[in-house]
Amino acid sequence: MRYDTLNTRTAVVTGAASGIGEATARRLAADGARVALLARRADRLAALAAELGPNALPVAADVTDQDSVDAARERVAAAFGPVDLVVNAAGVMLPNPVDDGRIDEWTRMLDTNVTGVLRVIRAFGPDLVAAAAAGATADLVTVSSIGAHVVFPGYAVYGATKAALTQLAAGLRTEYGPRGVRVTNIEPGLTDTELGSHIDNPALGPDGQLGAMFDAIGPLAPADVADLVGYAASRPRHVNLRHLVVLPTRQA
């Protein structure tokens, strides 16, 4: 399925170095959009951009650093002009028992998954408002998680960041919606990406609890989630698919 109406759009996708962000960049580029690829690993972004062609722009950026995000916005503006579709897929998931007191992980998750999204909105939100004011379709997409609602031992802080993101999207709608900017919050379930590779607790990681979930459930592919981004962004501009939950069929 192609979403041909996206061929007039200019997108920025965070987390484009892997997983859902990369798949979303591929999806939007295949639909003809211009796509700025943001993440920290410049080599990954360059390889993806080379594959996608001149409609893709690799921009190394760290969403935990406002200067870095602002510099990315300048690069995107210089190359593509203002954007009208912003997809926030950058995120980290670092589960551990709360008793471990991992302030390093808590801080990193909050700074990436919540404040990181806010930094991106701070930089690119005015583009969305201006696009909508000029009569164009404008979308802000947040990639939250079913973990915003479903709780697991070890995932209290990750879940809290995702609950915050879901709530943030709801609040933003009250400010952006009346000005014609759609806010779409997507909550995926288990998806086959690099997300679990940063877990440093063997009991919880890919060789432990997370791996067992993959075996029992069978994950979504990142392209399954990316397809929803393309679908939501390609609806007529008065239609806002505001909250999408997508799980593997076997995930309870």
Q: Taking a C-beta distance cutoff of 8 angstroms, is the pair 80, 10 a contact?
A: yes
Binder among 7, 30, 40, 245 for ligand NDP (CB under 6 A): 40
**Alpha carbons 123 and 104: distance in angstroms, whole number:** 26
Distance between the two ends of the chain, CA-based, in angstroms? 28
184 is an interface residue for ligand NDP by CB under 6 A: no
120 is an interface residue for ligand NDP by CB under 6 A: no
**Alpha carbons 245 and 252: distance in angstroms, whole number:** 12
Nearer of residues 55 and 161 to ligand NDP, judged by Cβ: 161
**Alpha carbons 51 and 72: distance in angstroms, whole number:** 21
Q: Which of 70, 100, 104 is nearest to 201 (CA)?
A: 100
Q: Which residue has the tokens 């996608």?
A: 52
For residue 236, give both structure tokens: 């007529």
Binder among 10, 137, 166, 193 for ligand NDP (CB under 6 A): 193
Nearer of residues 19 and 125 to ligand NDP, judged by Cβ: 19
Provide, rounded to whole angstroms, the least separation between the CB of residue 193 and ligand NDP. 3
138 is an interface residue for ligand NDP by CB under 6 A: no
Q: Which x/- pattern over 19-38 shows residues binding ligand NDP (rule: CB under 6 A)?
A: xxx-----------------
- List residues with catalytic annotation: 158
Dump the DSSP string for 100-166. G--HHHHHHHIIIIIIHHHHHHHHHHHHHHHHHHTT--EEEEEE--GGGTS--TT-HHHHHHHHHHH
123 is an interface residue for ligand NDP by CB under 6 A: no
Q: Which x/- pattern over 206-225 shows residues binding ligand NDP (rule: CB under 6 A)?
A: ----------------x---
Q: Beta-carbon neighbour count of residue 161 at 10 Å? A: 27
194 is an interface residue for ligand NDP by CB under 6 A: yes
Provide, rounded to whole angstroms, the least separation between the CB of residue 222 and ligand NDP. 6
Nearer of residues 8 and 197 to ligand NDP, judged by Cβ: 197
Part of the chain binding ligand NDP (CB under 6 A), chosen from 77-85, 118-126, 185-193, 235-243? 185-193
Backbone phi and psi for residue 250, each to the nearest 5 degrees, phi listed first: -90, 0
Nearer of residues 132 and 210 to ligand NDP, judged by Cβ: 210
Part of the chain binding ligand NDP (CB under 6 A), chosen from 98-106, 133-141, 187-195, 233-241? 187-195
**Alpha carbons 91 and 18: distance in angstroms, whole number:** 11
| Contacting positions for ligand NDP (CB under 6 A) | 14-15, 17-21, 39-41, 44, 61-64, 89-93, 112-113, 143, 145, 188, 190-191, 193-195, 222
